């Protein structure tokens, strides 16, 4: 590996571990010898690292918008339809009763750990607060779901009665044909969110939870189905986030921010993130 500026390299390596950086240069190694290829420069590795860091920041903000939106849609749809704020306790709305119990207890656990004043006040003023059962005082959905994690919301949505009218209604509000599509996307986005929250790299990452291709909507989505490589790379789940946020806030600038950071790092091979040739020709990225 070569260095344009050795002092700069020392400064980076003093705050970013060698182990953390090594996956950013994986394709810069000779497959036979395992040594760096002749034209490898440390500054090119840092270029990739900085793009990845900027990308994660953009996606964190985007997922925040989506997380608030999905909470709002779930709360309003179910509360208005059932006529009660305690609908989440009704296992008849859910497919698997065991998973439903786990969901409610997780909701109460997260609510109990919240530092938000409304959560602390509710627990303090309750005659009986029991995190380990359905008994006692339970907050209305519009209160308790506000403290739910994205992962909890994703699992809850997946366990709703299969293709129920309410589950399907939420999917349609996000511009999707079915609840299976939205459920798949939320699972993938939950993984992305956790990665970003723990400062994990997006670069050359393979996602075990691959978002499904959707039927139709090519005028707002992609010209054709995502390839398996696009689905398992960052491109797939990021495109899903963008599509869902577009349904909540059509005037968002997420796409423009992503395109800008790519332009600021023109030497970075973004195909390693799944952004392969022609990606800008897709309607969602135009």
pLDDT at position 173 = 94
Look at residue 163 and tell me whether its pLDDT is greater than 80: no
Evaluate the CA torsion angle 200, 203, 208, 210 in order and state its sign.
positive
pLDDT at position 217 = 79
- The model's confidence at residue 273, banded by pLDDT at 50, 70 and 90, is very high
Neighbours of 247 (CB within 10 A): 16
Q: Average pLDDT over the chain, rounded to whole? A: 95
pLDDT at position 183 = 97
- 20 secondary structure, DSSP code: H
Residues above pLDDT 90, as percent of the chain: 93
- Give 66-69's long-range contacts (Cβ < 8 A, gap of 24+): 66/189, 66/241, 66/244, 66/245, 66/248, 67/150, 67/153, 67/193, 69/244, 69/245, 69/248
Q: Which residues contact 258 (CB under 8 A, 6 or more apart)?
A: 55, 58, 238
**Mean pLDDT, residues 240-251 taken together:** 97
pLDDT at position 2 = 92
Interval 61-112: pLDDT, tens = 999 999 999 999 999 999 999 999 999 999 999 999 999 999 999 999 999 9
Interval 208-232: pLDDT, tens = 999 999 988 789 999 999 999 999 9
pLDDT at position 162 = 82
> What three-state secondary structure class fits 277?
coil
- 226 secondary structure, DSSP code: P
- The model's confidence at residue 186, banded by pLDDT at 50, 70 and 90, is very high
Identify which of 218, 224, 220, 205 has the alpha carbon closest to the alpha carbon of residue 59.
205
The burial class, CB within 10 Å (0-12 / 13-18 / 19+), for 270 is: buried
Interval 32-54: pLDDT, tens = 898 999 999 999 999 999 999 99
**Mean pLDDT, residues 172-201 taken together:** 96
pLDDT at position 182 = 97
pLDDT at position 218 = 83
pLDDT at position 216 = 81
Look at residue 1 and tell me whether its pLDDT is greater than 80: yes
DSSP per-residue string spanning 108-173: HHHHHH---HHHHHHHHH-S-B-TTSS-B----HHHHGGG--HHHHHHHHHHBSTT-HHHHHHHHH
Q: Which residues contact 64 (CB under 8 A, 6 or more apart)?
A: none
């Amino acid at each position: 590996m070569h260095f344009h500026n050795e002092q700069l390299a020392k400064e980076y390596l003093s705050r970013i571990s060698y182990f953390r950086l090594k996956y950013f240069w994986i394709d810069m190694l000779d497959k036979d010898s395992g040594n760096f290829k002749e034209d490898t420069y440390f500054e090119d590795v840092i270029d990739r690292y900085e793009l990845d860091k900027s990308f994660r920041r953009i996606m964190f903000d985007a997922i925040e918008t989506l997380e608030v939106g999905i909470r709002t849609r779930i709360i309003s749809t179910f509360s208005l339809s059932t006529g009660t704020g305690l609908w989440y306790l009704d296992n008849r709305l859910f497919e698997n009763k065991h998973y439903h119990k786990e969901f409610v207890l997780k909701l109460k656990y997260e609510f109990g750990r919240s530092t938000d004043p409304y959560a602390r006040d509710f627990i303090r003023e309750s005659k009986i607060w029991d995190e380990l059962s359905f008994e006692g005082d339970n907050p209305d959905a519009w209160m308790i779901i506000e403290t739910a994690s994205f992962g909890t919301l994703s699992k809850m949505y997946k366990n709703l009665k299969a293709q129920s009218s309410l589950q399907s209604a939420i999917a349609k509000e996000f511009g999707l044909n079915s609840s299976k599509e939205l459920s798949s996307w939320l699972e993938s986005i939950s993984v992305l969110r956790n990665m970003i929250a723990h400062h994990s790299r997006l670069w050359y990452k393979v996602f075990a939870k691959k978002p499904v291709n959707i039927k139709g909507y090519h005028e707002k989505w992609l010209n054709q189905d995502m390839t398996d490589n696009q689905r398992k790379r960052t491109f797939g789940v990021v495109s899903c986030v963008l599509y869902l946020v577009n349904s909540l806030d059509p005037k968002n600038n997420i796409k423009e921010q992503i395109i800008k950071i790519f332009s600021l790092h023109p030497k970075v091979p973004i195909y390693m993130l799944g952004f392969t040739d022609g990606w800008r020709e897709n309607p969602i990225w135009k």
